[in-house]
Amino acid sequence: MIATKQLPVEVLQELANEFAAGLGARAAVMLEAIDEISRQRSADAAHRLRLTAHSLAGTASAFGASELVPHASRLESLGKEWQERNGAATKASIVVARRALESLTVSIDVVIERLRTR
């Protein structure tokens, strides 16, 4: 749950529900970016992956979902690396990104379950 004593419980629950509801879309944006880069060089896709992962890494802890942070940070680093290579990615790094996204997705399911059962 969100780490603050300053908000009413019903507001906290609403915020947590909104965060949980948006997690799937965040993962979908990252998957699409990785898929695009696996097909062709794309600095835009690398930038999208980097920004989406960065945003999640910076936000997750505020919602008590800190287990998402290492996976999101890993994806952010890969997005940065690919962006610096003008959107080019090695096959090995794409495998690493897919694994990180799989781990993130598993953690997202756990977080959604936890936030919804509060």
Partner 1 sequence: MSDPARHPDSRPTLNAQRSTRVVLIEDDPDLRRVVQLTLQFGAGWTVDTAADGRAGIEMVKRVEPDLVLVDLMMPGMDGYEVCRRLVSDATTKRIPIVLLTARQNLDPERVRASGARGVITKPFDLDALAPAIVRLCQEEKR
Which value, to the nearest 10 degrees, does the dihedral of the CA atoms of residues 73, 75, 77, 81 take?
-170
Rank residues 47 and 85 by Cβ distance to partner 1 and give the closer one: 47
- DSSP characters for the chain? ----SSS-HHHHHHHHHHHHHHHHHHHHHHHHHHHHHHHS--HHHHHHHHHHHHHHHHHGGGGT-GGGHHHHHHHHHHHHHHHHTTT---HHHHHHHHHHHHHHHHHHHHHHHHHHT-
Please report how close the Cβ of residue 64 comes to partner 1 at its closest, in angstroms: 10
Rank residues 91 and 100 by Cβ distance to partner 1 and give the closer one: 100
Tokens 């097909």 sit at which residue?
A: 39
Please report how close the Cβ of residue 73 comes to partner 1 at its closest, in angstroms: 9
Rank residues 60 and 100 by Cβ distance to partner 1 and give the closer one: 60
Please report how close the Cβ of residue 18 comes to partner 1 at its closest, in angstroms: 6
Residues found near partner 1 in the complex (CB under 8 A): 2-8, 11, 15, 18-19, 22, 47, 51, 54-55, 57-63, 66
Please report how close the Cβ of residue 111 comes to partner 1 at its closest, in angstroms: 12
Rank residues 79 and 97 by Cβ distance to partner 1 and give the closer one: 79
